[in-house]
Amino acid sequence: MNLEGIGMTSRRTRERLVSRLLEKGIANVSVLEVFLNTPRHLFVDEALAHKAYEDTALPIGHGQTISQPYIVARMTELLLSHGTPEKVLEIGTGSGFQTAVLAQLVPEVWSVERIRPLQQKAQKLFSVLELTNIYLRFADGGFGWEEAAPFDGIITTCAPESVPDSLLQQLNPEGGRLVIPVGETEQSLYLIIRNGDNFQREKVEGVKFVPLLNGTINKDIGE
């Protein structure tokens, strides 16, 4: 596997993406550095590799998408803006790109995915990239990951109609942070900070995510 990339997947191309992220307001240097070092082209189909460092979402099969780099960077920055969380939960592993970004910035990433073939593909990449601080679960992430809670940070990469109570309950009561898109056709990204029984909610910006769906899909049912 070509980790470094050549041509449209080379370091030069990645540097251009990082400049775009800077222009768009991403200021966390550690986050930008991780974007420079993470081979996003491995997280998409080979036929789309030449588009991997454009700032756009791309299809990853099963009706799902790898999120736009800007939004991955923004959500990561929001999660990290008050110090590094020890333990982070992600709902929606998908391609695994957001997971891989987080794994280079925080000690532990726990990630739940409801589509088995996507999870398996991501798992292989994590071992190729030698990311050993990622714990995966095949389940409906709408219920979080109770056995592993509490989490200092939770990030949801699919949009529920309203914030699931289980995610709020699994936040660390001392400043746990939840970054989550909410809504159907009109979606907004929220940052929710927990202090005891108080949940402070801040609307960040308008976004477009695939929906959070119920249940699990175990087999490859085609595209």
Query: Contact residues for ligand SAH (CB under 6 A)?
Result: 60, 64-67, 91-92, 94-95, 97-98, 112-115, 118, 140-142, 157-158, 210, 212-213
67 is catalytic: yes
Beta strand pairing call for 198-207 and 153-156: unpaired
Rounded Cα distance between 179 and 155, Å, is 5
At closest approach, how far in Å is the CB of 11 from ligand SAH? 21
Identify the active-site residue in 19, 30, 67, 188: 67
Rounded Cα distance between 161 and 107, Å, is 30
At closest approach, how far in Å is the CB of 107 from ligand SAH? 19
The 3-state secondary structure of the chain, one letter per residue: CCCCCCHHHCHHHHHHHHHHHHHCCCCCHHHHHHHHHCCHHHHCCHHHHHHCCCCCCEEEECCEEECCHHHHHHHHHHHHECECCCEEEEECCCCCHHHHHHHCCCCEEEEEECEHHHHHHHHHHHHHCCCCCEEEEECCHHHCCHHHCCECEEEECCECCCCCHHHHHCECCEEEEEEEEECCCCEEEEEEEEECCEEEEEEEEEECCCECCCCCECCCCCC
> Looking at the annotation, which residues are catalytic?
67
